[in-house]
Amino acid sequence: MTQQDRSAGPAERTARIDLGAVRHNVAAVRARTVRQDGTRPLLTAVVKADGYGHGAVAVARAAQAAGADRLGVAHVREALELRAAGLRLPILAWLHTVGTDFAAALEADVTLGVSGWDLDAVAAAVRALRPAPGAADAGPVRARVHLKADTGLGRHGCAPAQWGELLERAAQHEAEGLVTVEGVFSHLGVADDPERAEETTAQLRRFEEAAAAAAAVLGRPLLRHLANTPATLSRPDTHLDMVRVGLGLYGLSPFEGVDATALGLRPAMSLGTTLANVKPVPAGQGVSYGFRHVAPAPTTLGLVPLGYADGVPRIAEGARVHVGGRTVPVVGRIAMDQFVVDLGPDARDRPGDAVELFGPASGIPADEWAAAAGTINYELVTRIGARVDRAHQGGEAPDAQEACA
């Protein structure tokens, strides 16, 4: 995304990001991760997918200022963008393809999560970067890796049947001076559902067994991390040595039916624009593609210049927006660039009046729009598109280069 050109006037579509809320959320999460002995696990702030649509660089800086110990991303490319912006916290990247630039990751001091073929690819990258004997440049000494175990989610991670083999290969690569295994981790599948606590407990037990096996083969305890946002907020037994906080960083609740404020979190994003058009229509007026809505009586329609190309879900008919101090319904199908709201028969709204789809000012939570679209709040904020400017408030804004991260 390019930074808004201030000479062109105010942004037409804006996602406002409250970095003060991000800092608050980091502090709120840290307050819930105190062990019985008074120590705290490390906290990794997960800023993948451009900080869940909030702007990775700005969010990472705010999280660091609030005491986050590390940063987490999915892809090496995301880690490199953070490094290019000057962020020096340890960064873990864990999802790779055969096209991943491991050499660039090593040169940027990025920690790599590995679970199979990628361990050997990382070791090969270290070999390739090492200079010929007698060369002055010593090159990277070792790659720092975390081994990922599949404890039941069935996606990424080493399957239990291959775990022992992976550990032996890791030990061999360590002995050759190619890698240092710093940690072991996994990911939970149902921690956001309290009624399925036994399944989370089962994953925890499998992870503890995998971590113990790793420590035995490699000859030392490793940094263990398993808890995502829901587990961090609800399962202290999963906190171990480090927690990985994604959704909670942005002030959103991972639990169905539980408001973020009940968890001590503050939503960081609000999404807004202005009315592009206002017009009175008669009864029987069809609205948008398919005429799924027909005005039952004379009313006033307002045109909102955001659509599914901007990340507004096409099927979110029945959602609400905030206009002129009140909430009004979305009517008709959401189009690529725009959607329509019913302002009511006596509306006095005009083009240029502020519209907020969700955010603290309107009192409409992102969860409401997600529910209208049959999805989750994670998806709603992450899908906000590049045509929507990000305006960071309550902290140092990223410069033009960093705004592209």
Tens of pLDDT, residues 247-304: 999 999 999 999 999 999 999 999 999 999 999 999 999 999 999 999 999 999 999 9
Q: How far is CA 260 from the centre of its chain?
A: 16
Nearest-angstrom CA–CA distance, 230 and 234: 6
1 labelled as ligand-binding? no
pTM for the whole structure = 0.91
Query: How confident is the model over 161-168, as a mean pLDDT?
Result: 98
Lowest mean pLDDT among 1-10, 330-339, 344-353: 1-10
- What token pair was written down for 341? 């709201």
What is the pLDDT, as a whole number, of residue 396?
Answer: 56
For residue 64, is pLDDT > 60? yes
Domains in the chain (CATH in brackets) are: 19-253 (3.20.20.10), 269-404 (2.40.37.10)
Q: Which helix (H) or strand (E) holds 51?
A: helix 48-52
Per-chain mean pLDDT for the chain: 92
Q: Which of 52, 279, 289, 308 is catalytic?
A: 289
Q: Is 289 an active-site residue?
A: yes
Q: How many CB atoms lie within 10 A of CB 144?
A: 19
Phi then psi dihedrals of residue 308, to 5 deg: -70, -20
How many other CB atoms are found less than 10 A from the CB of residue 244? 23
Q: Please, which pLDDT band fits residue 138 given cuts at 50, 70 and 90?
A: low
Q: What is the pLDDT of residues 187-240, one digit of tens each?
A: 999 999 999 999 999 999 999 999 999 999 999 999 999 999 999 999 999 999
Q: Name residue, tokens 């008709």.
A: 332
Exposed (0-12), middle (13-18) or buried (19+): which is 335, by Cβ within 10 Å? middle
Q: What pLDDT does residue 7 have?
A: 37
Query: What would the pLDDT profile of 113-135 be if each residue is shown by its tens digit?
Result: 999 999 999 999 999 998 766 66
What phi and psi values does residue 256 have, to the nearest 5 degrees?
-65, 130
Q: 334: how many CB neighbours lie within 10 A of its CB?
A: 25
Question: Residue 72 phi/psi, 5° resolution?
Answer: -130, 140
Name the phi and psi angles at 49, rounded to 5. Answer: 55, 50
Q: What is the pLDDT of residue 131?
A: 76
CA distances from 342 to 124, 243, 364, 373 (A): 61, 45, 17, 19
Beta bridge partners of 185: 148, 225
Q: Quick: pLDDT tens for 79-115.
A: 999 999 999 999 999 999 999 999 999 999 999 999 9
User: What angle separates helix 160-175 from helix 117-129, to the nearest 10 degrees?
Assistant: 10
CA distances from 16 to 11, 19, 54, 267 (A): 11, 9, 8, 11
**Which pLDDT value is given to residue 8?**
43
pLDDT of residue 3: 41
Percent over 90 (pLDDT), the chain:
88
Q: How confident is the model at residue 140 (pLDDT cuts 50, 70, 90)?
A: low
pLDDT tops 70 at residue 306: yes
Pairing label, strands 223-227, 13-18: unpaired
The confidence score (pLDDT) of residue 37 equals 79
Active site includes 250?
no
What does the pLDDT average to over 175-183?
Answer: 97
6 in a labelled binding site: no
d(CA 120, CA 141): 16
Report, as an integer, the average pLDDT of 145-172.
97
Q: Examine the pLDDT at 165 and tell me if it is beyond 80.
A: yes
pLDDT (0 to 100) of residue 209: 98
